[in-house]
Structure 1
Amino acid sequence: MAVTKVALVASMMACMLLTCSYSKSTLTCDQITIWLTPCIAYAVLGGNVSSLCCQGIYSLNAAYKSGDDRRGACQCIKDRAAYIPGIDYDRVNQIPGKCGTKCPFKLYPSTNCSAVK
């Protein structure tokens, strides 16, 4: 069952790779999605955060060049996460710490991404 759920979630994320443009961000939503797709299994099922997930978090953090980048990433992740069945936002917010880094915002359905600095 768990493998089927992960396959379903991965398929859904692949289908959601649409071109996104957020504000003046230099990051694309497609790139952010690619980096963070390996984190979905942990966000839905728990267990261990994969090394690929952590690599994606590191890549995203390294790519932030401005507040617009952080706000755009926040909105992209928030929009995409809304379509993932069974996502646990508390787990999502634990991922950076489990990878030994930080995130410039907490992600919940109610997060106001335009307020991210």
Structure 2
Amino acid sequence: MRSLLVAVCLVLALHFGEAAVSCNTVVVELYPCISFVAQGGAVPTGCCTGVRALNSQAQSTVDRRSVCRCIKSVVGGVSYSSNNLNNALALPAKCGVKLPYSISPSTNCDSIN
């Protein structure tokens, strides 16, 4: 379950430092997305609400880097399937959110602007 949340987080954010967006906020906003990431199908309404909220909150470089680092710390050594990752990667488009950066488990958080 935790690895699914991490995959969802990887899709949506990238923020750290004296960030306005806390790691707890990232987890809370993306929690409704877990069922979609795990199983596909319809994206829960609460998921897109959280994706949009997180995207609107993470406006500064510091915030985007903070979110990225949060996601990476949660993911840690947890493994997830390519289907889970593909579902997570599809979330921004399914929720009508355009991200100005590439999302990948290997993203260097320090390179995010």
Contact 1:89/1:108 (<8 A) preserved = no
Output the TM-score relative to the length of structure 2: 0.74
Matches within 5 A, 1:73-112: 73-82=67-76, 83=78, 85-86=80-81, 88-112=84-108
Gaps of 5+ in 2: 6-15
Larger Rg: 1
Kindly tell me the number of residue pairs found equivalent between the two proteins: 100
**Paired-residue identity, %:** 32
Structural RMSD (CA)? 2.3
In structure 1, what is the Cα distance between the partners aligned to 2:22 and 2:49? 17
Q: Is 1:56–2:50 an aligned residue pair?
A: yes
Partners of 1:78 and 1:34 lie apart in 2 by: 16
Pairs within 5 Å for 1:1-117: 9=1, 22-82=16-76, 83=78, 85-86=80-81, 88-117=84-113
The TM-score with structure 1 as length reference comes to 0.72
Gap regions ≥5 residues in structure 1: 1-8, 14-21
- Residue aligning to 2:13: none
